[in-house]
Amino acid sequence: MAAEPVALPTDERSEAERVIAGLARDARPIPTGWLVETVMGATPGGPFDLHRAALEAVLRRLRYARRDELVVAERPARGQPHGTYRTRSKGRSKRPWETALYGVSPLRAECDCPDFRRGGLGICKHVLVVLVELAGRKRARKRAEKGPMERPPLRWSPLVPLEGDGDPLLRFELSASADRPAFAKGWRRRGEVLVPPPVRGARRRKLLAAMGRWVDEERAGPATRKVLQELAASAERRAKAAELRKRAWKHLKGLELSLYGYQREGVKRFLDRGRLLLADDMGLGKTIQATAACHLLYRSRAVRRGLVVVPSSLKAQWKREWQSISPVPVTLVEGGPEARRAIYDRTEKGFLLVGYAQLRRDAEALLAWAPEAMVLDEAQRMKNWETKTAQTIKRFAPPWRLVLTGTPLENRIEELASIMDWVDEWALAPKWRLPVAHVSEGGAMGLATLRERLAPHMVRRRRAEILDQLPERRDHQIRLELTPAQRDAHDDLNRPIVRLVHAARRRPLTPKEFLRLMSLLNQQRMVANGLAQVAFTELWPTLEGRPPSPALLRTLDSPKLLELRELVRSLVVDQGRRVVVFSQWRRMLRLAAWVTSDILAEAGKRAVFFTGQEDTRKRTRNVVDFHDEPDVALLFASDAGGVGLNLQRASSCCIQLEQPWNPAVFEQRVARVHRLGQPEPVDVITLSTEGSIEERIGYVAGAKRALFEGLFDGDADQVDFPEAAGFCERLERVLPAGALASAMSEPESDPDLEQVEPEEEDAPPLADAPPPAPSTAPAEPTTGRGTGLATEPARELFRGVQVRHRPDGGLQIEADPTSAATLASLFEGMAELMRRATPPGE
C-alpha cells in the first residue's frame, strides 16, 4: 500500500525545526527563527516532507524577489517596523503592491498580490523583501521582535486546510473583542475569534456584500480586502449566470439536433456557473455541448463576441460541426497577418475559431477584440503553466470560460492545477503542496479531498456510464519477436542505459547525462519498431519508388511492418474496412505506407496522411477523402491525429504500431473511432515486441492510469500503483541478468558516464542547433553520411531543438513538431526519474 504521510510526534518536532532552521539559512539576512515559525505554522500537523516543501516554496519566492529586483518603495512613518509597506520592481513605475506587516515572531503579514492569496504560506516575495529590508535595520528589527502591533478586526488566513473543500470564505476571522457587526450574526466562536458558517447561493452573496460595505482600511488588511472583493464578484457572477440560464434555455430549440440528457446537464452546469472544466470521456460530444452553450449565450444576448481556441489541425472540423449544430455565426481565422487582422477588424459579433499558435501570435489583437466568452478545446495544452500557450491564455479574463479535455491529468497532479487556474484559481491552490500531500512513491492519497475541491468546477462522465449504446470495443495485442539483428542492436544499448540508470539512483543526472539517457531510450523504442526506422536516412533512397519486393522487405528488419502487411490484406482487402494506423514517428508511417502500397494498389485502394507535416488544407482534404472517397482505405496518423479528430463514421478499426508512454495518448487515438455515432464494433490492434523496452512501457502507463482513474473515476481516498517500485527499477528488469550488479561494481568515472554526448562532428550542441525550416509538405529524408545506430537518431532528434537559458537559471527547450513529440514522449516516460531533480510546481 502507499505510505501515507504521518504527522510528526511531539518529541520529533524539535528535531524537524532544527533541520528546517538549517535549511532556512539560505534566506539570510532574514533571521531563521522568523521563517521556521512561518513554515511550521503553514503546515500544522503535517509530515516533515510537507514542512520542507513549504520552506522550499518560500526560498523560491525569495529567489524570484531577487531576480525581479524588488525593492521597498514606501515604508511606515517615523521608522516604525510595523505598518504598511509598498514594494515594486527597481526602476519601474507600475503600481506597487501593498504589504502590511503586523509582527515577525510569529510572522503576521498581508499582501494584496495574487501569490499571497493563493500561495498557502502566509508569505510572498513582497513580504520577504520587507523582511530583508527590516532585518538590515537593527533598531527597527529589535523593535519588531519586542512584539506585534494590533491587527485589524477582520482578517483572512491564506493557510489552506489539508482536508475539506478549501472554501476561502471559511478562512475569514473577526476579532471576538471587536464590536460585532450585523453581518456576523450566526458566526461561531473559535478561541479569540468568530468564524462564518458555510453558506451558498443567495445567502453567501448577501453576506459578502454586507462584509464589503462594512470593510475599510482600518478594519481589514490588504489581502483581506482583496479576497473579499474577489469572492463578492464571483458570487455576483454566478448569480447572474444562473439567472441567465433560465431565460437562455428556451433557445435550445434553435439547435439543429437534440441533446442527450447528459449533454443538456453539461450545458446547464456551465451556464449556472459561468466557468467549467468539461472533462467528459473522449467520444461523449464535448464539441456538441460547447457549441450548444455558445449558441445559448449568443441567442440570449449575454455574449456578443466569443473565441474558440482549438488545435490548428481541428479548426476546419470544428467549423463543420458547429455549422451542422447551430446557425450562430462562426468565422475561421486563417491566412497571413494582414488577412487575420482584417478578420478581427470586420468581425463585430459572432465567434472566431483560432488555433493555439494564432492565439499566441495575435494575442494583442485578440485582447483588443475583447471576447466575452472563450472555449478551449484539448486544454491539456496549458498543463504546464510556464509555457507561452498557458501564459497567453491566462491573459484573457472573459466572464464565460469553458475548458474541454478528455485527459485533464496526463502525468502529474500539478498539470491539472495549471488547467484549473483559469477555471477557478482557488480550486487546487496551493500548487507547491500537491506533489507532497497527494503523491507518494507507491501511489496517490488524499484523493477524496481533491475530488471535493474539484466537484463544483468540473463535470466528468465516463463512456461506460453514459453510452450503453456504444458498440463493443475489442482490444487485440499482437506480440512479435525481435529479429536477431534487432536483438543485437537493442541489447547493445543496455550497457550505457544501465550505467546512467544506476547513476540516477545515487544522484541527479547532469543535463548531458539526462539527454543521453533520453536519446538511448528513444533509440531502443525505434529499434523495437524496426531497424529500417533507425537507418531511415540511408535506407529510404533504396526503397522510394520501388515496389516492396520480398528482397527489399527482408532489409527492413521489422516484424511489425511485415505483420502490418498481413493485417492490411485481411482488414482492407478481405473485409473491405477502412483502417487508421497510428505511430508517434512519421518515418515509421512512411515505411508503413510503402510496405502496404502494393497490396492497396492491387485492390484499387490508396492511403492518405494526417500528421504535423501536411498543411491545414491538405490534412482537411485527406480527412474528407477518408470519409467520402471509396478508394481511400488507410489513414496514417501521428499523434497530431490522435487529438480531437472524429473518424467514427469512416472507420471501426485502428492499429497502433507502438505503445505510447502515456495511456492518455493511447486512449486519444482509440477515441477517434470508438465514440458517439460509431455504428460498428471497434477493433483496436496494438503491435509490440517481446523482451524489449516496450514491455516496460505497460508498467509506466498502468501507474498513470491508476492515478487518473483513482482521482476522476473512483471514490477511494488512496490509490496504490502496481508494484511500488519506481521507473528505474522497472527499466533495470529489461536488462540481462547481472548487468546492474556489474555496473554497481565499477567506478562512476567509467567512460559511459563521462562521454555522455555524441562527438561534436556527429551532433552539434543543442544551444547552437539551427531553427527548423518551415515546411508544409511531407518531410523528405536527409541524405548524407551515416553515423551509426548510436548517434544518427540523436542527431535527427536534436537537429530541430534549441535550448535557451532563462534568467532564473532554468532551461527553455524549443522544438519543431516532430522533435517536440519525441521529446514529450521521452520526458513522460522519465517522469519518475525527473522528479528526483525537479522542485515541486508552484
Residue 188 CB-half CA count within 13 A: 5
User: What's 567-580 look like in SS3?
Assistant: HHHHHHHHCCCCEE
Return the CATH number of 470-693+734-842, one of 3.40.50.300, 3.40.50.1820, 2.30.30.90, 3.30.1330.40.
3.40.50.300
pLDDT of res. 730: 52
User: CA-CA distance, 722 to 720, in Å (whole number)?
Assistant: 6
C-alpha pair distances (Å), 762 with each of 445, 542, 789, 793: 46, 23, 12, 11
Low-confidence ranges of the chain (pLDDT < 70): 1-16, 24, 93, 410-411, 440-444, 467-470, 640-644, 696-842
Beta bridge partners of 656: 582, 686
User: What's 617-685 look like in SS3?
Assistant: HHHHHHHHHHHHCCCEEEEEECHHHCCCCCCCCCCCEEEECCCCCCHHHHHHHHCCCCCCCCCCCEEEE
pLDDT of res. 323: 94
Residues 94-103, buried b or exposed e (16+ Cβ, 10 A)?
eebbbbbbbb
User: CA-CA distance, 306 to 445, in Å (whole number)?
Assistant: 39
| pLDDT tens string 813-826 | 555 444 554 555 45
Q: Is 310 helix (H, G, I), strand (E, B) or coil?
A: strand
pLDDT of res. 692: 86
Is residue 584 a contact partner of residue 658, using CB atoms and an 8 Å limit? yes
Here the cell at position 657 is 504500431
Beta bridge partners of 580: 635, 654
pLDDT of res. 664: 74
Cβ neighbours of residue 572 under 8 Å, at least 6 residues apart?
578, 579, 599, 600, 603, 605, 633, 634
Here the cell at position 55 is 520552506
Q: Enumerate the H helices of 303-387 as residue ranges.
A: 315-325, 337-346, 356-361, 363-369
pLDDT of res. 284: 86
pLDDT of res. 131: 95
Residue 604 CB-half CA count within 13 A: 5
Here the cell at position 802 is 534549441
pLDDT of res. 660: 84
Q: List the chain domain ranges.
A: 1-150, 152-241, 255-466, 470-693+734-842
pLDDT of res. 782: 32
Q: Which CATH superfamily does the domain covering 255-466 fall into?
A: Tandem AAA-ATPase domain (3.40.50.10810)
Is residue 680 a contact partner of residue 707, using CB atoms and an 8 Å limit? no
Is residue 340 a contact partner of residue 333, using CB atoms and an 8 Å limit? yes
Is residue 403 a contact partner of residue 327, using CB atoms and an 8 Å limit? no
pLDDT of res. 790: 36
pLDDT of res. 841: 42
Does 255-466 match 470-693+734-842 in CATH topology? yes
Here the cell at position 220 is 481589514
Residue with cell 555522455: 756
pLDDT of res. 39: 84
pLDDT of res. 5: 39
Closest by CA to 306, choosing from 353, 341, 271, is 353
Is residue 292 a contact partner of residue 325, using CB atoms and an 8 Å limit? yes
Q: At what angle do helices 559-568 and 586-602 cross, to 10 degrees?
A: 40
User: CA-CA distance, 620 to 667, in Å (whole number)?
Assistant: 22
DSSP letters for 25-51: GGGTTS-HHHHHHHHHHHSTT--HHHH
> From the CB of residue 724, how many other CB atoms can be counted at a distance below 10 Å?
15
Is residue 530 a contact partner of residue 561, using CB atoms and an 8 Å limit? yes
Here the cell at position 656 is 497502433
User: CA-CA distance, 146 to 839, in Å (whole number)?
Assistant: 36
| pLDDT tens string 135-189 | 988 899 999 988 889 999 999 999 998 888 889 999 999 999 888 999 999 999 9
User: CA-CA distance, 533 to 538, in Å (whole number)?
Assistant: 10
pLDDT of res. 435: 83
